[in-house]
Structure 1
Amino acid sequence: MTAWIAACLLAVAAPAWPAEQRSKSEKARVQDIFGWVEWVEIGQGPIRLKAKLDTGATTSSLTADDIDIFRRSGKRHVRFTILDEDRDIEETIEARLVRHVRIRKHDGTTQRRPVVRLGMCLGDIYREHEFTLVDRSSFVYPVLVGRNYMRGHVLVDSGETFTQRPSCKQRSSSTSPGMDRATAPRLAAE
């Protein structure tokens, strides 16, 4: 009987313990609660894509076609294309290459992917963060939003989807970090 009472007390007390460890500033930073699948906007179009909010992934991943790595003024850059299939809008983006990463796939093989820093709008949250680039056309969701983007700003309700449309009023600039204004994204239709 004593063990049963102790187990009940631990079950009640345990969920509150981690929340107490978070500082007030950490709690205040969290903006909103989102579903596990949401719409996001990327680029100048902006391109609207379905995104899976994945708390198991560290880094975000973006679908990209025609990935081309090149040098400009001695620095490595990446040119790639993203497509908003729903609105039939395509945008070519150029950004500075941050690094390459090796990603272990589900079948155990590894894949080398370029990493760029881009801005993305989720609900009313605009953040610039790192994205790995890969052809995700065989995946259900063209964007995977990782913990690095969500930390301190997003809570995920695994029982909800499409809770908010992107509505960022202010984007940090007309170009993302690592992009030169001369190579800012342009709509392919222009």
Structure 2
Amino acid sequence: MKQKIVIGRNDKIDLPKLHLYDLDAKVDTGAFTSAIHYHMAEVIEKEGRRVLHFTLLDPSHPDYNGKSFYFENFEEREIKNSFGDSERRYIISTIIHIFGRDFETEFSLSNRGNLKFPILLGRKLLKKGFLVDVSYKNLSFNQKQK
């Protein structure tokens, strides 16, 4: 059996393809898909193709840089929020760097502006070999600092 990676209730993660580092993330075993806070998102035509154009975080977040991202490969899905209500959200796939390893995972773009953590890590990522122990926090970030 492959050894599990113990992750705490929250940590700091990197999204290297998006040039975002040490972002606060909450582990949520109740969420299927991971989520990331966005400021603006729209589907546009670019060179004859439908492209998702968005910015992450928001101007009040310390890591906000106003940088625009363009994804050709994206989906729109109905996602149930924490209140059980369905919302239509954009879904992107990118790399998360945690515990010195890269994992490809999906993120739904979600308005998390009024929440403490701009990123939520859901079961779709956690089932790739993580074991959650809520008595810990920032295990990956602390390991990275050594």
62 and 76 in structure 1: CA distance in 2 versus 1, 3 angstrom threshold: same
Q: Structure 2-normalised TM-score? A: 0.80
Secondary structure of 2:124's aligned partner: helix
- 2: CA distance between counterparts of 1:47 and 1:67? 21
Deviation of the 1:99 alpha carbon = 1.6
Deviation of the 1:164 alpha carbon = 2.1
Greater percentage in strand: 2
The answer as to whether partners of 1:63 and 1:136 remain within 8 angstroms in 2 is yes
Count of residues in correspondence between the two structures: 140
82 and 147 in structure 1: CA distance in 2 versus 1, 3 angstrom threshold: same
RMSD over aligned CA atoms reads 2.4
Q: Structure 1-normalised TM-score? A: 0.64
Q: Identity percentage over the alignment?
A: 24
- 1:98-177 alignment to 2 at 5 Å? 98-165=74-141, 167=144
47 and 90 in structure 1: CA distance in 2 versus 1, 3 angstrom threshold: farther
- Which of the pair has the greater relative contact order for Cα pairs under 8 Å at 6+ separation? 2
37 and 68 in structure 1: CA distance in 2 versus 1, 3 angstrom threshold: same
Deviation of the 1:74 alpha carbon = 4.9
Higher-Rg member (1/2): 1
Stretches of structure 1 that go unaligned for 5 or more consecutive residues are 1-23, 168-190
Are residues 1:34 and 2:10 paired? no
Q: Deviations over 1:154-181 (max 9, x none)?
A: 22111111122185xxxxxxxxxxxxxx
- 1: CA distance between counterparts of 2:127 and 2:14? 19
Are residues 1:66 and 2:40 paired? yes
- 2: CA distance between counterparts of 1:45 and 1:99? 22
- 2: CA distance between counterparts of 1:109 and 1:56? 14
The answer as to whether partners of 2:57 and 2:113 remain within 8 angstroms in 1 is no
Deviation of the 1:96 alpha carbon = 2.4
- 1: CA distance between counterparts of 2:35 and 2:28? 10
Greater percentage in helix: 1
Tell me which residue corresponds to 1:177. Answer: none
Letter of the 1:152 counterpart: K
The answer as to whether partners of 1:47 and 1:90 remain within 8 angstroms in 2 is no
The answer as to whether partners of 2:56 and 2:64 remain within 8 angstroms in 1 is no
Tell me which residue corresponds to 1:49. Answer: 23
